[in-house]
Structure 1
Amino acid sequence: MGGVDRSVERSMYLELALVAMDELVKMAQMEEPLWVGGGLEGGKEVLNYDEYLRAFPRCIGEKPVEFVSEATRETGMVIVNSMALVETLMDATRWMDMFPCMIARTTMTDIVSTGVAGTRNGALQLMHAELQVLSPLVPIREVNFLRFCKQHAEGVWAVVDVSVDGIREFPQPGESNMGCRRLPSGCLVQDMPNGYSKVTWVEHAEYNEAMVHRMYRPLLRSGIGLGARRWVATLQRQCECLAILMSSSISSRDHTAITAGGRRSMLKLAQRMTDNFCAGVCASSSHKWNKLNRPESIGEDVRVMTRQSLDDPGSPPGWCSARPPPCGCR
């Protein structure tokens, strides 16, 4: 019976992934009346929810009453080819390394399909992630989702995410985490000349904002915190940094230039510094902070928290402390 149940579950995953992929591609390509606003000057696009409900079925069920919606779209040129980007997105560790300020933790919990003929075309996997905004006043978004990859044409790929909470039972989010569901979200990638790709990113989520400080609610609803524009901007910045650091064009006459190995070491150091900073600001399950009683010498507008440093390479063992003010600045 376990084998039968497993087969049915995988069939449900595949059906959901195909519906989500169709919705993502259409949302990436459709204009008005689905998306309104924008324009030649790069204004913000807004999803017309009435048109959305007419155009697409609710593939993950009805929105909970206490949840709010967030939907954004962004297009940009990125110095990476489509295959390299697809490989990064389909690898949990590389995905987190590419977006260190947005992903606190991620794991691949199941592989439904590895793809066709040794490629990522048709690859389908179940993942868990904790998404973060760099503030202690915005809880972690904990999501369980399918990630599905499909090649639509030569040099054209799409990767879509969609929550699976209605198919399989998962542990409830922790006290410091915010309930969240990802409607079909992801990116459409098209190869361009000179090694660049045109990336159209769609981010669509529903979440419970009751745990978010009122000051940050407009920021999240607008998509500034975890919307498509931030994903694309982070991807562009990371790819430009990698291109510079991994470049082999070092002048033979410049004896002060850093070697390729040295630049790779610098990149790893920069990643550790970024990871440690983000872990210090946010409250991921992998970097728990403990709140201390406020000493009399410290004002009421300051919180004192501690956590034990991890024994990562380059990170000395011991204890860290932080005293972020209510605004969340460090």
Structure 2
Amino acid sequence: MDELVKMAQTSEPLWIPSSKGKGEMLNREEYEKIFTPCLGPKPDGFVSEASKEVGMVSINSLALVETLMDSERWAEMFPCMIARNWTSEIISSGMGGTRNGALYLMQAELQLLSPLVPVRQVTFLRFCKQHAEGVWAVVDVSVDRISDRGGSASAQTSLNCRRLPSGCLVQDMPNGYSKVTWIDHTEYDDTHIHHLYRPLVSSGLAFGSKRWISALQRQCESLTILMSSAIPNRDKPTPISSIGKKSMLKLAQRMTQKFCRGVCASSSQKWSKLEIGNIDEDVRIMTGKNMDDSGEPPGILLSAATSVWIPVPPRRLFDFLRDVLLRSEWDILSNGGPMQEIANIFKGQDQSNSVSLLRSTVSIHMHACV
């Protein structure tokens, strides 16, 4: 906890401007002068990644702390990043009916939405402490080995990454927002990461603090809208009621979770990889059973996923994919004709963060943009 707070509150020379001109990078030499490694030497073949990000988030400190200390709510807050997680043991539940002093042993699988980047398996202690009125910190630190859920100690498995003191410092602001300083400090094995993704991962954009903060901001904005009495439309009125709009937003959340599970080979879905001789090695084809409680009929799921490099700016590609008038150029469900947007519901301050209900000549389907 002391290391996290000091890293969050210190700037130069511990954190220095990145050589690429974006964000800050950890000064390793300065770090080693200040801190004694709590996990021992870095494992052979592992590389280090450290990042720091500060953001304003539409949630108060108590609510954020409660979310981070509840494994189910934590996963719901970061659906694109957490493939699977659970609390193995509650060592301390806190003091005085609060999370102050709470210490949990937790396990998680962290994902980047590509079959070319392995899921990160981590086991860690999560500790929560109140530092002042309206000021909280939550810190994670890895334990090196873990037994599988429901398994025995003899079933221990070495992990492909470990978290050095990482987490967030949260301070309430007068407007109902919180100032969140996020630290992510990880050592990981990069040998199985595809060469297309190694620069993205090493920069911290894949698993680092900027991604955690951005995901937290988007999700909190979405929850604020979901809990409001009136949900705004984008351009025109819609016959869908407020209750119907909230149902659409909840459905979009489940769609996102299903999509993420279909891209990454998380153990939560119990996928089986199909080995097909004439399929490129960059394509992952998996099968699994649909046995959840989402109301969908039980059956066999088939997932095919790959990643490709497209030499255009990300925003240009994103705008192309969400443009209803251009959808027929890439979506077979459009039946070669234009789509009609029946409703468009905001999920955040950015107007491109929305949920649309689309009609084609043959079907109606949902389209979520984040």
| Structure 1 partner of 2:25 | 46
Judging changes above 3 Å, is the alpha-carbon distance between structure 1 residues 319 and 74 closer, same or farther for their aligned structure 2 residues?
A: same
1:88 to 52, 67, 79: 67
Contact 2:146–2:156 under 8 Å retained in 1: no
Contact 2:115–2:284 under 8 Å retained in 1: no
1:172 to 148, 157, 160: 157
Judging changes above 3 Å, is the alpha-carbon distance between structure 1 residues 99 and 305 closer, same or farther for their aligned structure 2 residues?
A: same
Three-state SS of the structure 2 residue aligned to 1:31 is coil
Query: How far apart are residue 300 of structure 1 and its match?
Result: 7.4
Q: Deviations over 1:7-44 (max 9, x none)?
A: xxxxxxxxxxxxxx0000000010111000169xx831
| Structure 2 partner of 1:287 | 269
Q: Does 1:235 align with 2:220?
A: no
d(CA) in 2 for partners of 1:28, 1:300: 41
Judging changes above 3 Å, is the alpha-carbon distance between structure 1 residues 38 and 198 closer, same or farther for their aligned structure 2 residues?
A: farther
Which blocks of at least 5 consecutive residues in structure 2 are unaligned? 148-152, 311-370
Contact 1:60–1:166 under 8 Å retained in 2: no
2:12 to 32, 44, 52: 32
1:183 to 145, 148, 164: 164
Correspondence 1:1-330 to 2 at 5 A: 21-37=1-17, 43-165=22-144, 171-173=156-158, 179-249=160-230, 256=239, 258-259=241-242, 261-294=243-276, 302-325=283-306, 327=308
Query: How far apart are residue 57 of structure 1 and its match?
Result: 0.7
Contact 2:82–2:111 under 8 Å retained in 1: yes
d(CA) in 1 for partners of 2:161, 2:240: 47
Judging changes above 3 Å, is the alpha-carbon distance between structure 1 residues 211 and 255 closer, same or farther for their aligned structure 2 residues?
A: closer
Three-state SS of the structure 1 residue aligned to 2:255 is helix
Contact 1:162–1:182 under 8 Å retained in 2: yes
Contact 1:294–1:303 under 8 Å retained in 2: no
Judging changes above 3 Å, is the alpha-carbon distance between structure 1 residues 127 and 300 closer, same or farther for their aligned structure 2 residues?
A: closer
- The TM-score, its normalising length taken from structure 2, stands at 0.75
d(CA) in 2 for partners of 1:212, 1:299: 16
Which blocks of at least 5 consecutive residues in structure 1 are unaligned? 1-20
Aligned residues: 300
Contact 1:246–1:263 under 8 Å retained in 2: no
Q: Deviations over 1:27-85 (max 9, x none)?
A: 0010111000169xx83101001110111010111111210000000000000011000
Q: Deviations over 1:158-195 (max 9, x none)?
A: 0000012279977215xxxx611000000000001221
- The TM-score, its normalising length taken from structure 1, stands at 0.83
Three-state SS of the structure 1 residue aligned to 2:52 is strand
Three-state SS of the structure 2 residue aligned to 1:189 is strand
More strand by share: 2
Judging changes above 3 Å, is the alpha-carbon distance between structure 1 residues 68 and 293 closer, same or farther for their aligned structure 2 residues?
A: closer
More helix by share: 1
Contact 2:274–2:286 under 8 Å retained in 1: yes
Contact 1:101–1:274 under 8 Å retained in 2: yes
Three-state SS of the structure 1 residue aligned to 2:22 is coil
Q: What is the CA RMSD across the aligned residues, in angstroms? A: 2.7
Three-state SS of the structure 1 residue aligned to 2:175 is helix
The structure showing larger relative contact order (alpha-carbon pairs under 8 Å, at least 6 residues apart) is: 1
Query: How far apart are residue 265 of structure 1 and its match?
Result: 3.0
Query: How far apart are residue 321 of structure 1 and its match?
Result: 1.9
